[in-house]
Amino acid sequence: MSTPRNLGTNTPPTGTKGPDAASAQPASPKAADPKMAEFKLADPAVIGRSMADIAERSQRIVADWLDRQSRSTQTADPLNLGRAFLEMTAKLIQNPTRMVQAQIGFWQDYVTLWQNTTRRMMGIDPAPVIEPDQKDKRFRDEAWQQSEVFDFIKQSYLLCARYVHDVVGGVEGMEPKTAKKVDFYARQFMDAMSPSNFLLTNPEVLRRTAETGGENLLRGLNNLLGDLERGRGKLSIRMTDPDAFRLGENIGVSPGKIVFQNELMQLIQYAPSTEAVLKRPLLILPPWINKFYILDLRPKNSFVRYAVAQGHTVFMVSWVNPDAALGDAGFEDYMHKGVFAALDAIEAATSERDVNAIGYCLGGTLLATSLAWMAQKGIDRIKSATFFVSLLDFEEAGELSVFIDEEQLKALEQRMQQHGYLEGSDMAATFNMLRANDLIWSFVVNNYLLGNDPFPFDLLYWNADSTRMPARMHSFYLRNMYQQNLLAKPGGITLDGVALDLAQIKTPAYFLSTREDHIAPWRSTYRGAMLLGGKTRFVLAASGHIAGVVNPPEGGKYNHWVNEAKPDSPQLWLEGATELAGSWWTDWNRWVTAKAPKTVPARIPGQGGLPAIEDAPGRYVQVKSGA
């Protein structure tokens, strides 16, 4: 049986002999293994000081938590899980056959696992009963494969997880949305119970504990307390070093000026990098769920820098991080004070009435509603529309839909009424749950069990820089689009007295979706693209909601698919698509440039019809949630 080598231990000090030396080290059947580590003893004085500090900080954290709980109006089951799992249990009782079948399969596999583990101890190397997905990063440490013990723990967990998934997924007769909720939270539970998340069943953590004499656990506890302090008793996991980045200094650094602002947004005009620019300006509408600089993280992966280099005069909307004063702001306010105000400002700055426009995620949904509103009014100022991973048809809106039932919406609306907005941390927690292993549990292991400080990473810095959502707007968005899918229905939504019909939009449109998107599933965005009445180009990129979009040509990391045909079925579109290497950025640039190739001398921000207010990235983006 292979043992301590698989725990990652190191060689004991030379010169130690006899029973005294043996008694000073952990018992092991292979104490002389050259990879066996000395178990380092921690300094008692350090431990004493640390525990005193921990006790004092813990008291403050508990006091903060109790204070918040005393003021909370949240119901006992805000996610409405009790009713969902009760319905599942009732269906299982009515038809227990599937559960019995799953149990039989589970026990057969478990017996095989026991037999295989015994054979491994005898020197035989049988094939595993079950293996983790190739993308699963939880079991990368070699001990999960090389040690019979940890391999058994790993496979036991994977069998249990598969069993739970089979039972939950096999329940017949459940309402589809309830079934999806039960499946989602069952996976959340199984992700939380992974052996990689616990000290005694994670070989990498055990190895680090032996090497440091437990100092990693003290550091981890301090990291945990720090995160609880930042969240005032609510866990706020640090995903990256927040002090490693400064907006306008090493992130969001594309040069430009704020040339317009109102209470809802600032408008950035970026400085040109070419002597001549395209006559038609480019307006980018990012989502206000997140901040705009996802499109301008670093020069090497900045979509802004790329677009400017291709000769576009780029204008970017930087949404305000709303406070209670904007709690009554509605979707129509984002249209009038966002889209239409930006169009007027661009015309004042460049004398150009026509623009090309891009909407990212929720910004794309806003772009479509604005185009539908303008179509009914006979206004034609946006000459081409690009949609980055944007939902227009919310019938199958992915796993976010598990949060959108009537009980949860009422609880959310009640919570928003306390402040006039949804706190950014609540929104961030929701999105993190969609990728819990990557965005929650990996940091629990790294920060709290291994005692590491998070690595500086620009994308995770942006991800943690959450924004609030105005109460009235957010309620309208969730109820009318996610819950009732009214935007996809002609006349289903009325904004500022105008009934919207997406089929009236004749603007040429470019839809970019990503194959592994867990927020805006590409099959749903495809169906949304078919709702528009004009000519559309649909392009599918590899990877997900962020990485598939932020994919510069220089990196060449992810490929993309194109298909000139527009069959009704997204699957038929994919089957007939051509896969192309590299970034979709060049395809988009060819498409949008061909719409209006005429050029003019480069425009300098602040030297046109609008004076510069301040340097990019501006003040609005600097406002943190909770500040």
Q: Which of 438, 460, 483 is the last residue of a domain?
A: 483
Shared-domain flag, residues 328 and 272: yes
Burial (CB count <10 Å: 0-12, 13-18, 19+), residue 534:
middle
Q: Is residue 244 part of a domain?
A: no
Q: Is residue 310 part of a domain?
A: yes
Q: Which of 143, 178, 213 is the last residue of a domain?
A: 213
Question: Dihedral of the CA atoms 483, 489, 494, 497 (nearest 10)?
Answer: -170
**pLDDT at res. 52:** 58
Q: Which residue has the tokens 């999105």?
A: 431
Active site residue 160: no
Range in 29-43, 243-257, 327-341, 558-572 the model is least confident about = 29-43
Provide the mean pLDDT of the chain: 87
Q: What is the CATH number for 296? A: 3.40.50.1820
Q: Is residue 229 part of a domain?
A: no
Q: Is residue 240 part of a domain?
A: no
**pLDDT at res. 81:** 77
pLDDT digits (tens, 9 = 90+) for 471-482: 999 999 999 999
Shared-domain flag, residues 273 and 377: yes
The answer to whether 219 and 451 have CB atoms below 8 angstroms apart is yes
What's the whole-model pTM score? 0.85
159: helix, strand or coil: helix
Higher pLDDT, 390 or 402: 390
Shared-domain flag, residues 77 and 137: yes
The answer to whether 574 and 593 have CB atoms below 8 angstroms apart is no
In the numeric block, which tokens belong to residue 550? Answer: 């932020």
Q: Is residue 461 part of a domain?
A: no
DSSP state string for 199-232: GGG-HHHHHHHHHHTTHHHHHHHHHHHHHHHHTT
Q: Is residue 437 part of a domain?
A: no
254: helix, strand or coil: coil
Shared-domain flag, residues 149 and 260: no
pLDDT at residue 441 tops 90: yes
287: helix, strand or coil: coil
Shared-domain flag, residues 607 and 539: yes
Strand locations in 403-506 (E):
421-422, 469-470, 494-495, 498-499
Shared-domain flag, residues 272 and 354: yes
pLDDT digits (tens, 9 = 90+) for 150-176: 999 999 999 999 999 888 888 888 888
Shared-domain flag, residues 379 and 407: no
**pLDDT at res. 12:** 33
Q: Is residue 262 part of a domain?
A: yes
Higher pLDDT, 354 or 46: 354
**Band of the pLDDT at 33, cuts 50, 70, 90?**
very low
What is the rounded average pLDDT of the residues 202-228?
92
Domain limits for position 479: 400-416+468-483
Q: Is residue 7 part of a domain?
A: no
Shared-domain flag, residues 152 and 103: yes
Shared-domain flag, residues 284 and 195: no
Shared-domain flag, residues 311 and 406: no
pLDDT at residue 67 tops 80: no
pLDDT at residue 212 tops 60: yes
Shared-domain flag, residues 478 and 555: no
**Band of the pLDDT at 87, cuts 50, 70, 90?**
confident
Shared-domain flag, residues 100 and 113: yes
pLDDT at residue 64 tops 80: no
Give Dmax (Cα) for the chain: 93
pLDDT at residue 9 tops 50: no
pLDDT at residue 321 tops 70: yes
* Catalytic residue from among 361, 367, 372, 427: 361
pLDDT at residue 570 tops 50: yes
The domain tally of the chain equals: 3
Percent of the chain with pLDDT over 90: 67
What is the rounded average pLDDT of the residues 516-529?
96
Residue 450: count of CB within 10 angstroms of its CB: 20
Who contacts 179 (Cβ-Cβ below 8 Å, separation ≥6)? 88, 169, 171
**pLDDT at res. 49:** 58
